[in-house]
Amino acid sequence: MIDPKILEDFGAKMSALLANSPARDIEKNSKALLSGLLAKLDVVTREEFDVQASVLARTREKLKDLEARVEALEKARQG
């Protein structure tokens, strides 16, 4: 029967080997490259977009209300 300690040691060594493998470096470098490219494209996160969309919607509502008030004041001034 195989000793569980041997299996644990083998698993630990495999984990360490995979953590230090070139694949891990490639993944890390790819993420850094992609982040750099996205930064150059000047894109925003979905969260930032949603916040700005909400601000724009509120601003449009305020503008609509102000336009109605101006129109009412102009009518009152003329009448």
Q: Which amino acid is at 32?
A: A
Q: What is the pLDDT of residues 22-64, one digit of tens each?
A: 777 777 788 888 888 877 887 788 999 999 999 999 999 999 9
Q: What is the pTM of this model?
A: 0.49
Please, what is the end-to-end C-alpha distance for the chain in angstroms?
102
Query: In this structure, are residues 18 and 24 in contact, taking their beta carbons and an 8 Å threshold?
Result: yes
Between 15 and 63, name the one with better pLDDT. Answer: 63
